[in-house]
């Protein structure tokens, strides 16, 4: 009896896997997609921040996405500076839109030239807040409606995994 139950469980698991679909995206493909939403210009009070020239990095083991970008900060008549920002976050799937968004973004590093050191912490705080909101509102990748597999797969996301410098999206078709 135990053997029969075990066999049924194995068969059911195999049957379920037969109806899954995995779509892989390379860093280069994600790079092309992120370039479509850049530059990002965010104004907060009198401060304007612009992110441009993004570079995507898939972080294996954590299933996170890294984003390095040029950043320009200016306050008219007060200051102007530029540098690099390194942001890390997770991709979250919006089933209704078939789109992946950059969520839970964390500003890991911000280096700036032309900004007085005493106000750099305030710039970092403003950048964290503004960039997190801006990045979370723009899809990083949208499943294609003209690809029948992707169109069917929109229904259920099983997992997101970074492996071998590619993002593997596994969907359950059932």
Looking at residue 118, what is its pLDDT?
Answer: 86
Q: What percent of the chain has pLDDT over 70?
A: 82
- Could you tell me whether strands 79-94 and 20-26 are parallel, antiparallel, or unpaired per DSSP bridges? unpaired
In 3-state terms, what secondary structure has residue 98? coil
**15-39 confidence digits (pLDDT tens):** 444 567 777 878 888 888 888 888 8
**48-60 confidence digits (pLDDT tens):** 888 899 998 888 8
What residues are paired with 92 via a beta bridge? 101
User: Stretch 158-173: mean pLDDT, rounded?
Assistant: 79
Neighbours of 171 (CB within 10 A): 21
Distance between CA atoms of residues 103 and 136, nearest Å:
5
Looking at residue 53, what is its pLDDT?
Answer: 93
**69-107 confidence digits (pLDDT tens):** 999 988 887 788 899 999 998 888 887 788 888 888 888
Query: Residue 119 carries which DSSP code?
Result: G
**113-163 confidence digits (pLDDT tens):** 988 888 888 888 888 887 778 888 888 888 777 766 666 666 677 777 888
Residue pair 148/8 in contact (Cβ under 8 Å)? The answer is no
For the chain, how are helix, strand and coil distributed in percent, rounded to 5?
Answer: 30, 50, 20
């Amino acid at each position: 009896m135990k053997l029969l139950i075990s066999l049924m469980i194995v068969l059911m698991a195999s049957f379920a896997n037969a109806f899954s679909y995995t779509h892989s995206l390379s860093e280069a493909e994600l790079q092309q997609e992120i370039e479509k939403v850049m530059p990002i210009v965010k104004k907060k009070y009198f401060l304007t921040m612009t992110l441009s020239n993004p570079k995507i990095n898939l972080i294996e083991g954590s299933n996170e996405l890294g984003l390095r970008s040029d950043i320009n900060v200016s306050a008219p008549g007060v200051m102007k500076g530029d540098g690099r920002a390194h942001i890390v976050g997770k991709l979250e799937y919006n089933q209704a839109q078939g789109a992946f968004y950059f969520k839970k973004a964390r500003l890991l590093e911000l280096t700036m030239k032309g900004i007085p050191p005493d106000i750099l912490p305030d710039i970092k705080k403003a950048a964290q807040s503004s960039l997190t909101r801006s990045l979370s509102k723009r899809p990083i990748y949208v499943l294609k409606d003209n690809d029948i597999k992707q169109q069917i797969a929109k229904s259920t996301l099983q997992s997101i995994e970074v492996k071998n410098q590619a993002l593997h999206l596994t969907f359950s078709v059932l």
